[in-house]
Structure 1
Amino acid sequence: MPVTLRFCDNKTMLVGSVAEAANALKQQWPDKTAPGYVEAARLVALAVDGTCCQRIAFDALTREARQQNILVARPKSRAHDWLDAVASP
């Protein structure tokens, strides 16, 4: 599922693939020296090369974006409410 990131220069980017994640890592992050950022960059590079699972790399990017407060929160869709209602007893 794509995520939206808002960088330090106030630009936003919709990231839905590993290629887009690699591009997002080149943008203005609050702290590119943070261990989580470095690990996300490593995993995304490995995923681009095909030696790492794309889901793992994308999750690492999303986790670090949330940690650095650049992940734009999206409201739940009505479909989520419907599924919650169906799943509840």
Structure 2
Amino acid sequence: MSIFLPLNIRFVDGTTMVVSSIADAQKALACQWRNKEAATYNEAARLLSAAKEGVCKPAVAFAVFENAAQTQGLLQPAKPSSALGLLDDITLPLAT
């Protein structure tokens, strides 16, 4: 199990990928992005490599990757989990 919440990415060519680790994020960088020359993309690539080498905290590198995907419009909204729906159903009577 990953320490990161999964990100749903839809690339320019229409393919999708779920990214939930540093290795997944590095694979995602090899796919089709809108602009691989963008500063956010290059920073994500640099920090993901540094995290893999143990020089950067993985959480920081993953957050920068998420920001790069968001900036380029590749990040897809996550669907709420079914567990949250069950929790809402259970707690709704308590709120009234």
TM-score by length of structure 2 reads: 0.79
> AA paired with 1:75?
K
Which residue pairs with 2:58 in the alignment? 54
Gaps of 5+ in 1: none
Q: Does 1:33 align with 2:37?
A: yes
Over the aligned positions, Cα root-mean-square deviation in angstroms equals 1.9
> How far apart in 1 are the matches of 2:22 and 2:10?
17
> How far apart in 1 are the matches of 2:65 and 2:57?
13
> How far apart in 2 are the matches of 1:8 and 1:75?
21
Deviation of the 1:48 alpha carbon: 1.1
Which residue pairs with 1:77 in the alignment? 81
Matched residues, percent identical?
38
TM-score by length of structure 1 reads: 0.85
The 5-angstrom pairing of residues 7-22 of structure 1 reads: 7-22=11-26
Gaps of 5+ in 2: none
SS in 2 for 1:61: helix
SS in 2 for 1:5: strand
Q: Which has the larger radius of gyration?
A: 2
Deviation of the 1:78 alpha carbon: 4.9
* Count of aligned positions: 86
